[in-house]
Structure 1
Amino acid sequence: MPILISIFVVSIVLYLYFKVRILNYKNPLYMHYTNGKARIALGLFISTFGMNQYAHYQSQFALFITIIFLALGVAQIVYGYKIFKHYRQEILKAEAAGDLG
C-alpha cells in the first residue's frame, strides 16, 4: 500500500513537471516529445489511483472502478509511449541533419 501511494505521488509530480516543462520549449518536436512523457506519467497516475482505491475499499464497486481506471491508465501509457518513441526518432533525425541548432 505505501508503494502505491509513493508511485501515485511521484507520477503526479512528474506529470505536472512535464506539463510545465512544455512551456519552456519553442520547438514543436520537443513539445510533443515532452507531452508523450507527460502522458506516460498521467497513465501511471490513473492506474495507481485505481489500484489504491481497490486496496482501500475492496468492494465489488471499487473493483469495477479499478478496472475502468486501469484501462484508461494503460491506454494513456501506450499512447504516450508511441508519441514519445515517434518524436524521439524525429528529434534524432533533425539533430543529425542539423535542423535543431
Structure 2
Amino acid sequence: MIIFPIIIVLSLVFYVYYKVAIMKTSDKLTQAYFNAKSRISLGSFLFFFGVNQYIFYQTQISLFIGIVFLVLGGLQLNLGFRETKHYRKEWKRINA
C-alpha cells in the first residue's frame, strides 16, 4: 500500500504551499481562498493518515485513533470544499 504514504506526503506539501502563498498575497479574498484550499489539503492529510494508521498497525487503539482522524479529516474536507466553492464564486463575481 504505497499509495497512502504518497497521498499523505503530497497533501502535506500542498498544505505548506498554500500557507506560504497566503503570506505572499495581500488581497483578503485571495487569502481566504488559499486558506480554504489549505483546509482541503489538511483534511486529506488527516483522512489518509487515519486510513494508513489502521492498515499499517491493525490494532484496536489504531482503529480508534484512525476513526478520530477520519472524522476530523472529513470535517476539514467538507468545510474546505464549501469555502472554496464560495470564494471562487465571489472572486469570479468581483473580477468579472
TM-score when normalising by structure 2: 0.97
Show the counterpart of 1:83. 83
Residues 21-40 of structure 1 mapped to structure 2, 5 A cutoff = 21-40=21-40
Q: Supply the distance in 2 between the matched residues of 1:78 and 1:87 (Cα, whole angstroms).
A: 14
Show the counterpart of 1:71. 71
Show the counterpart of 1:10. 10
Show the counterpart of 2:47. 47
Deviation (angstroms), 1:55 = 1.0
Deviation (angstroms), 1:61 = 1.2
Please state whether the residue corresponding to 1:26 is helix, strand or coil.
coil
Please state whether the residue corresponding to 2:21 is helix, strand or coil.
helix
Larger Rg over CA atoms: 1
Q: Where does the alignment leave 5 or more consecutive residues of structure 1 unmatched? A: 97-101
The amino acid that maps onto 1:8 is I
Deviation (angstroms), 1:24 = 1.2
Q: Supply the distance in 2 between the matched residues of 1:78 and 1:56 (Cα, whole angstroms).
A: 26
Size of the alignment, in residue pairs? 96
Q: Where does the alignment leave 5 or more consecutive residues of structure 2 unmatched? A: none
Could you list the runs of 4 or more consecutive aligned residues of structure 1 that deviate by over 3 angstroms after TM superposition?
A: none
Deviation (angstroms), 1:60 = 1.1
The amino acid that maps onto 2:32 is H
The amino acid that maps onto 2:81 is Y
